[in-house]
Structure 1
């Protein structure tokens, strides 16, 4: 008889354990569902409130509708016909839809999925439309009330920017990254890569680029570190933009046909936007650049001999007649080549 009780006790224990597991699973599912609906509703109402706040600040901020989806693993909110216009900068954006997605466990890891159809941009300089294949912006926000941007990555397949007068630019892809430094929250590493970048018909016509010149760049890349006066956070779009205070440009490179431009910089930026420091420039096959400048009308024919003599002297100083390698100094609002002033340096202010 004792030998018969053990299997019965074992079966009872298994049934008891299974019931407990089922109840725990049921309770977890209820709690998870409740959290999803709470977080999704909070995200939806937060977006609606943000648009209302922008309207109270004088913006034109409209949204046709919002829709929730993604249960149970993601929080997805689709904004139908969002439109934003900042009266201070004159910049406006409008598109058919934008989907904002975040994992249920932490809404601070946000992804913005942009539509395949046209996105409209407007500014005081004109209107343009952007079409992009699988354009996604991924944001990692630091937990807290200010929601500092820890990382921003914008990726896209083939894209094209057009104006009413024609194509402005395009590329086979785009990768833009911005990552916050662990030791200094105001410092961000910034990278850019636009494979097969192509100037469109508008700039080619304006610069009178020869028809036999290559259509696409061989490379267009940038790698730099920028220290701002404060981190990027939720107030960036609502108030003044963070302003750069130091720029360490490791490398910016553009290769187009026979032309190759490289640049590096070490600059400090004042509160007024004035830059101080050094910029290193390297230009290979500068003679072709001179021909393009003359063809585009940027360089008057009467000044070509003088410009050619100056560039030849710079090339000789670089040790290669086909390459120019110079360092420019920026101080007191002026650009200097050695002790020779070349002109006023632009102010660097983010609007």
Structure 2
């Protein structure tokens, strides 16, 4: 009787042992493939003329994760204008969901951009991405986030923010269409020396090619549906919404509606930054007062046409080229 009772237990033991052995084999094969693909990607950069150097590349995390770490990373472009140096970079993936990855950067990195040395200090800088399970590996969604982050140049300028969140996901509305969201808090840069409490972009963008493993070059926007572009400083807030697209020359064209809360405060801010000459303030103040009709909130149509950005019958600046 005891032999009969032990037979099912022995069978169960062997099944469990077999499954464990198979999973262990899967993990070691998978980790080997992860390392092989990472090494192949770095080798491909090297074959294109990039300078590639690192001390070690290894994968750990058995049994549930593929944790790949590259230490003492040094990458340099063929023309010597771009260089990246970091003590490490890590890429994490669950072994049972290898199509979802997380990349983690170190607290300090050094960059060389256009011959300009930069130091990047960050807290919790990481990115994540998920590809759909199909042969083309189309992007499903991705995000990048960070706590306090600063960039310091040896040429004497610096930029910083207290929080960063950027995200993109497939919209499904049309081929190669994506929802894009970017938000920063307490942004200070040479372009915005007074600092911005909040900077936000929320848009739906259609690209000239889908984001998948076959993507070539840099994808370019075909159309931009701007849900909200918003910046705030103190009690001054500016937001914009509308539809934009590149014209035949690749210059942004279309129309957006810009809403300003506390327009007198905006004029004060522009004058403080010397963006608004004193002799032109009266012109803008009269136009804004007429639009506001006794309120501190105005809406202004802004057109992007013939390579120019125009509002209130005035040419403000050149339209950007995409």
> In structure 1, how many angstroms separate the alpha carbons of the residues matched to 2:5 and 2:301?
79
Larger radius of gyration: 1
> In structure 2, how many angstroms separate the alpha carbons of the residues matched to 1:95 and 1:170?
21
Q: Is the 8 A contact 1:314 1:325 kept in 2?
A: no
> In structure 1, how many angstroms separate the alpha carbons of the residues matched to 2:282 and 2:5?
91
Aligned: 1:83 with 2:74 = yes
> In structure 1, how many angstroms separate the alpha carbons of the residues matched to 2:176 and 2:210?
5
Are residues 119 and 185 of structure 1, via their aligned partners in 2, closer, same or farther at CA, if it must alter by over 3 Å? farther
Quote the residue 1:213 is aligned against.
none
Are residues 145 and 127 of structure 1, via their aligned partners in 2, closer, same or farther at CA, if it must alter by over 3 Å? farther
Counterpart pick for 2:283 among 292, 304, 309: 309
> In structure 2, how many angstroms separate the alpha carbons of the residues matched to 1:48 and 1:308?
63
Quote the residue 2:245 is aligned against.
268
- TM (normalized to structure 1)? 0.82
Are residues 342 and 135 of structure 1, via their aligned partners in 2, closer, same or farther at CA, if it must alter by over 3 Å? closer
Quote the residue 1:33 is aligned against.
24
Q: Is the 8 A contact 1:194 1:221 kept in 2?
A: yes
- TM (normalized to structure 2)? 0.89
Offset at residue 72 of structure 1 (A): 0.6
Quote the residue 2:318 is aligned against.
344
In structure 2, stretches of 5+ residues that fail to align are: none
> In structure 1, how many angstroms separate the alpha carbons of the residues matched to 2:96 and 2:161?
37
Q: Is the 8 A contact 1:311 1:324 kept in 2?
A: no
4+ runs of 1 displaced by more than 6 Å?
A: none
> In structure 2, how many angstroms separate the alpha carbons of the residues matched to 1:225 and 1:194?
18
Are residues 47 and 188 of structure 1, via their aligned partners in 2, closer, same or farther at CA, if it must alter by over 3 Å? same
Deviations 1:167-210 (A, max 9, x none): 31121x22211101235341111112223x1415x567xx4x4x
Offset at residue 133 of structure 1 (A): 1.7
| SS state at 1:55 partner | helix
Quote the residue 1:327 is aligned against.
301
Q: Is the 8 A contact 1:228 1:242 kept in 2?
A: yes
Are residues 259 and 125 of structure 1, via their aligned partners in 2, closer, same or farther at CA, if it must alter by over 3 Å? farther
> In structure 1, how many angstroms separate the alpha carbons of the residues matched to 2:166 and 2:295?
35
| SS state at 2:14 partner | helix
Are residues 269 and 92 of structure 1, via their aligned partners in 2, closer, same or farther at CA, if it must alter by over 3 Å? farther
Quote the residue 2:113 is aligned against.
123
Are residues 294 and 53 of structure 1, via their aligned partners in 2, closer, same or farther at CA, if it must alter by over 3 Å? same
> In structure 2, how many angstroms separate the alpha carbons of the residues matched to 1:341 and 1:285?
23
Offset at residue 281 of structure 1 (A): 1.2
Offset at residue 330 of structure 1 (A): 1.7
In structure 1, stretches of 5+ residues that fail to align are: 1-7, 210-215
Quote the residue 1:74 is aligned against.
65
Offset at residue 143 of structure 1 (A): 2.9
> In structure 2, how many angstroms separate the alpha carbons of the residues matched to 1:264 and 1:85?
40
| SS state at 1:15 partner | helix
Quote the residue 1:257 is aligned against.
234
Offset at residue 77 of structure 1 (A): 0.8
Quote the residue 2:167 is aligned against.
177
> In structure 2, how many angstroms separate the alpha carbons of the residues matched to 1:98 and 1:260?
38
| SS state at 2:102 partner | strand
Q: Is the 8 A contact 1:225 1:248 kept in 2?
A: yes
What count of residue pairs does the alignment treat as equivalent? Answer: 321
Deviates more, 1:81-90 or 1:59-68: 81-90
What is the alpha-carbon root mean square deviation over aligned residues? Answer: 2.6
Q: Is the 8 A contact 1:315 1:325 kept in 2?
A: no
| SS state at 2:219 partner | coil
Deviates more, 1:304-313 or 1:87-96: 87-96
> In structure 1, how many angstroms separate the alpha carbons of the residues matched to 2:78 and 2:258?
38
Aligned: 1:162 with 2:152 = yes
Going by fraction, where is strand more abundant, 1 or 2?
2
Are residues 295 and 339 of structure 1, via their aligned partners in 2, closer, same or farther at CA, if it must alter by over 3 Å? closer
